[in-house]
Chain A
Amino acid sequence: MSKRVGIEVSLAVAEAVKLADADVVAAYPITPQTHIVEHLSELVADGELDAAYIPVESEHSAMSSCIGSSAAGARTFTATSSQGLALMNEMIFIAPVLRTPVILAIANRALSAPINIWNDHSDIMSVRDAGWICLFAENGQEAVDMTLAAFRIGEDPQVSLPVSVNIDGFTLSHFIEPILLPDKAEVDRFLPPFKPVIKLDIAQPISVGLLAPPESYTEARKATDDALLASKAVVKKAFDEYEAVFGRRYQVVESYRVEDAETVIVAMGSIAETASIAIDEMREAGQKVGLVRLRLWRPFPAEELAAALSAAKNVAVIDRHMVLGVDNGPLGLEVKSLLYDAPNRPRVFNYVLGLGGRDVTRDDFRDIAARVSSSQGVQTRYEIVGVLA
Chain B
Amino acid sequence: MKKPIEAIVKAGDLPVGFTAQPGSTVAFKTGDWRSVRPVLDREKCIYCGFCYYYCPDGVYQDMGAEKWYKPDLDYCKGCGVCAHECPKKAITMTLEEV
Contact = CB atoms under 8 A, between A and B. Distances in A.
B12 to A, nearest CB: 7
Interface string A75-97: 00000000000000000000001
A160 B16 contact: yes
B17 A160 contact: yes
Nearest to A212: B18
B9 interface: yes
Contacts of B20: 206-207, 210
A206 B7 contact: no
Given A214-B6, A215-B6, A226-B11, A220 B18 contact: yes
A219 B16 contact: no
B8 A198 contact: no
Contacts of B64: none
A185 interface: no
A306 interface: no
B9 A210 contact: no
A207 B11 CA distance: 18
A197 B17 contact: yes
Interface string A204-234: 0111101010111011101100110000000
A100 B18 CA distance: 11
A197 B18 CA distance: 12
Contacts of A215: 6-9
Contact of A223 (B6, B18, B24): B18
A218 B12 CA distance: 12
Contact of B19 (A207, A214, A227): A207
B26 to A, nearest CB: 13
Contacts of B17: 97-100, 160, 197-198, 208
Given A99-B16, A198-B16, A219 B21 contact: no
Interface in A136-180: 160
Closest 3 CB pairs of A and B: A99-B17, A222-B11, A219-B11
17 contacts: A97-B17, A97-B18, A99-B17, A100-B17, A197-B17, A198-B17, A207-B20, A207-B21, A215-B6, A216-B7, A216-B14, A219-B9, A219-B14, A220-B11, A223-B18, A226-B11, A227-B16
